[in-house]
């Protein structure tokens, strides 16, 4: 049996569906963020139903597919005008339609998504699969729509105004265009999942190569797939996708096979050099880039949350809520040969169930008012400030006015230093084990930003008791502090080779 989610999974990566059917044991536990997204998807689905008060839900989970399909036909024939989870079944294909609405000329399929807009590459074939099966069951489609969250909605703190919380976008023309291709695609997927071997992913179809396929990130089968990537694979050069694809298309997988005169950016060339020589590669600019840092230097990191549905009155869906920062401060240019450096640490964590933004920004302003450079890792921190300025958070414009003091430490690392052991990446999680092997996130209760977000969201939603919240705050402080300490270690490593 092939469901619409199986269909879209296989279109994304055929191997993923095959593995989930044939080797479910190698699947890792679903990440907390993905679980949270599922939970939110369910909440949003329930709210969406309220937009259609006359709707009836087909109890597919109680009845099973066959009985649910029969029940759907019965309700449609009986004159019901709106059905939720309307189920259609034929030739080993099954589709459950979020909202099926009767119109003058037939039925409209409405797909509900907890997103901010219609994302054609992701959503279109999902809806088209349903529409195709619906038509094959002998019904007339009058239209197809995508119902998503409207980010302009402002919650007043009372009952949800579902007419304004959602936007319904007309996507019939797009669906009609791709409808003819669906039966063949579905048949081919059904055929491939019945094969003894999984569909080829490394060879004929470079875009399925697990190492350059964007869906590998966060995939529950990544641990199964990525160890198969040889240690000298071009993946570890961190080349631009277009270059990787071209090399793979020409059958070049090993770094040793990369033509020496291949056009690369300076940072790619540095990484290539580090791999070929198996020694760290340093750019001549490193010295001058480090000399731009003014002391006191503040090394900062933020933790944020972007709840799909507003948590506080006056907020819109997906509003950015920064709730924590950590800052290590080097008061003067350090002499790294002295082991006991004087490095200060400050932090902020909003420990209340209220909007954290103003307290966040005011405490940050106080911390950085002493002047000097503000080092961040990648441009996320600046994006957060820009968004707060846009949302009118008092004080955010004052931090934005200090952007000329901001220096991206990751950019310095990317531009000026490469080590094959970074495996083509410059995230803190990849770099720290190389530059400071004794430091690790593995012993922490919170080990990454996703976990921090999910846990904090649960606290804001009132899902944690006092003791749990206290433990969470301690875990968050420890985690964020390690992030900025890791930046200190990276700065130290860069200074050592400059």
Strand order, beta sheet including 321-330? 343-349, 321-330, 297-305, 374-376, 406-408
Q: Closest CB to ligand SF4 among 153 and 221?
A: 221
Considering the complex, state which of residue 212 and residue 416 has its C-beta at the smaller distance from ligand SF4.
212
CB of 19 to ligand SF4, least distance (A): 6
CB nearer to ligand SF4: give 211 or 384: 211
Tell me the closest approach of the beta carbon of residue 125 to ligand SF4, in angstroms: 17
Q: Are 87 and 60 in contact (CB under 8 A)?
A: yes
**CB closer to ligand SF4 out of 27 and 36:** 27
> Taking the complex as a whole, how short is the minimal distance between the CB of residue 209 and ligand SF4, in angstroms?
8
Distance CA 207, CA 218 (A): 17
Kindly state the smallest distance separating residue 146's Cβ from ligand SF4, in Å: 24
Cβ closest to ligand SF4, residue 37 vs residue 458: 37
Closest separation in Å from C-beta 130 to ligand SF4: 23
Nearer to ligand SF4, 218 or 314 (CB): 218
Residue in 132, 224, 140, 147 with CA at minimum distance from that of residue 186: 132
Q: How far is the CB of 450 from ligand SF4 (least distance, A)?
A: 17
Total residues belonging to the chain = 498
Segments in 13-91 forming alpha helices (H): 14-22, 32-49, 60-63, 65-77
**Which DSSP string do the residues of 427-451 spell out, in sequence order?**
SHHHHHHHH-TT--STTSS--SHHH
Measured from the CB atom, is 26 or 291 closer to ligand SF4? 26
In angstroms, give the least distance from the CB of 191 to ligand SF4. Answer: 18
Phi, psi for residue 200 in degrees, rounded to 5? -60, 135
Select 198 or 295, whichever has its Cβ closest to ligand SF4.
198
Where do runs of H (alpha helix) occur along 78-119?
none
Joined tokens for residue 215: 């869906």
Please answer whether residues 124 and 179 qualify as being in contact, where contact means their C-beta atoms are separated by less than 8 angstroms. Answer: no
Question: Which class for 142: exposed (0-12), middle (13-18), buried (19 or more C-beta within 10 A)?
Answer: middle
Minimum distance from residue 201 beta carbon to ligand SF4 (Å): 5
Residue 196 DSSP symbol: S
Nearer to ligand SF4, 11 or 47 (CB): 11
Rounded to the nearest whole angstrom, what is the least distance from the CB of residue 16 to ligand SF4 in the complex? Answer: 4
What is the closest distance, in whole angstroms, from the C-beta atom of residue 203 to ligand SF4 in the complex? 13
Q: Cβ of residue 279: shortest distance to ligand SF4, in angstroms?
A: 31
Report yes or no: 9 and 20 within 8 Å, Cβ to Cβ: yes
Looking at beta carbons only, is 20 or 495 nearer to ligand SF4?
20
* Nearer residue to ligand SF4 within complex by CB, 26 or 332: 26
Task: With beta carbons less than 8 A apart as the criterion, state whether 265 and 240 touch.
Answer: yes
Q: Whose Cβ is closer to ligand SF4: residue 155's or residue 221's?
A: 221
d(CA 73, CA 462): 42
Q: State in angstroms the smallest separation of the CB of 25 from ligand SF4.
A: 14
Give the number of other Cβ atoms within 10 Å of residue 197's Cβ. 8
Q: Tell me the C-alpha distance between 149 and 159, whole Å.
A: 16
Q: Which residues bind ligand SF4 (CB under 6 A)?
A: 13, 15-16, 19, 201, 210, 213, 215-216, 219, 221-222, 225
Of the pair 37, 117, the CB lying nearest ligand SF4 is at: 37
Residues linked to residue 146 through DSSP beta bridges, in sequence order: 111, 169
Distances (CA, A) of 150 to 162, 318, 442: 10, 10, 39
CA distances from 152 to 118, 132, 316, 358, 399 (A): 15, 33, 6, 21, 26
Residue 375 near residue 297, CB atoms below 8 Å: yes
Please provide the DSSP assignment of 378-406 as one string.
SSHHHHHHHHHHHTT-TTHHHHHTTGGGE
Beta carbons within 10 angstroms of residue 408's beta carbon: 17
What distance separates the 2 farthest-apart alpha carbons in the chain? Answer: 83
Q: In 3D, which of 342, 401, 356 has the Cα closest to residue 374?
A: 401
Q: How far is the CB of 207 from ligand SF4 (least distance, A)?
A: 11
């Amino acid at each position: 049996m092939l469901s619409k989610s199986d269909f879209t999974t296989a279109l994304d990566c055929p191997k993923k569906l095959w593995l989930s059917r044939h080797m479910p044991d190698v699947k890792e536990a679903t990440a907390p963020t993905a679980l949270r997204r599922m939970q939110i998807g369910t909440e949003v689905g329930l709210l969406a139903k309220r937009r259609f008060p006359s709707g009836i839900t087909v109890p597919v989970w109680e009845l099973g597919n066959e009985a649910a399909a029969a029940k759907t036909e019965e309700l449609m024939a009986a004159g019901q005008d709106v059905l939720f989870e309307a189920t259609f079944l034929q030739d080993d294909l099954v589709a459950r339609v979020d909202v099926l609405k009767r119109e003058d000329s037939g039925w409209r399929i409405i797909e509900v998504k907890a997103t901010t807009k219609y994302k054609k590459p992701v959503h279109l074939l999902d809806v088209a699969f349903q529409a195709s099966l619906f038509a094959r069951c002998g019904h007339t489609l009058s239209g197809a729509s995508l119902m998503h969250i409207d980010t302009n909605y402002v919650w007043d703190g009372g009952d949800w105004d579902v007419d304004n919380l959602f936007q319904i976008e007309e996507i019939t023309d797009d669906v009609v265009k791709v409808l003819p291709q669906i039966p063949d695609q579905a048949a081919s997927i059904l055929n491939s999942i019945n094969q003894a071997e999984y569909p080829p992913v490394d060879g004929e179809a470079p875009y399925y190569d697990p190492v350059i396929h964007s869906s590998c990130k966060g995939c529950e089968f990544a641990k199964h797939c990525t160890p198969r990537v040889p240690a000298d694979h071009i993946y570890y050069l961190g080349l631009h996708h277009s270059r990787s694809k071209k090399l793979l298309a020409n059958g070049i997988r090993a770094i040793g096979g990369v033509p020496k005169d291949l056009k690369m950016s300076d940072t790619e060339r540095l990484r290539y050099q580090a791999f070929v020589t198996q020694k760290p590669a340093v750019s001549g600019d490193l010295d001058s880039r480090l000399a731009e840092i003014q002391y006191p230097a503040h090394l900062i990191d933020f933790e944020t949350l972007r709840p799909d549905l507003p948590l506080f009155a006056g907020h819109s869906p997906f509003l950015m809520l920064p709730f924590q920062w950590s800052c290590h401060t080097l008061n003067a240019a350090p002499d790294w040969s002295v082991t006991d450096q004087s490095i200060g640490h400050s932090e902020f964590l909003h420990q209340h169930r209220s909007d954290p933004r103003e307290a966040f920004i005011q405490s940050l302003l106080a911390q950085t008012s002493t002047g000097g450079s503000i080092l961040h890792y990648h441009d996320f921190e600046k994006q957060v400030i820009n968004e707060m300025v846009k949302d009118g958070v008092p004080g955010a414009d004052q931090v934005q006015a200090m952007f000329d003091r901001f220096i991206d430490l990751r950019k310095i690392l990317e531009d000026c230093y490469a080590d094959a052991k970074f495996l083509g990446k410059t995230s803190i999680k990849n770099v720290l084990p190389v530059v400071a092997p004794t430091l690790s996130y593995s012993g922490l209760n919170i080990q990454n930003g996703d976990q921090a977000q999910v846990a904090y969201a649960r606290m804001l939603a009132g899902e944690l008791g006092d003791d749990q919240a206290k433990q969470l705050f301690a875990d968050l402080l420890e985690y964020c502090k390690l992030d900025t300490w890791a930046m200190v270690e990276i700065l130290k490593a860069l200074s050592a080779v400059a």
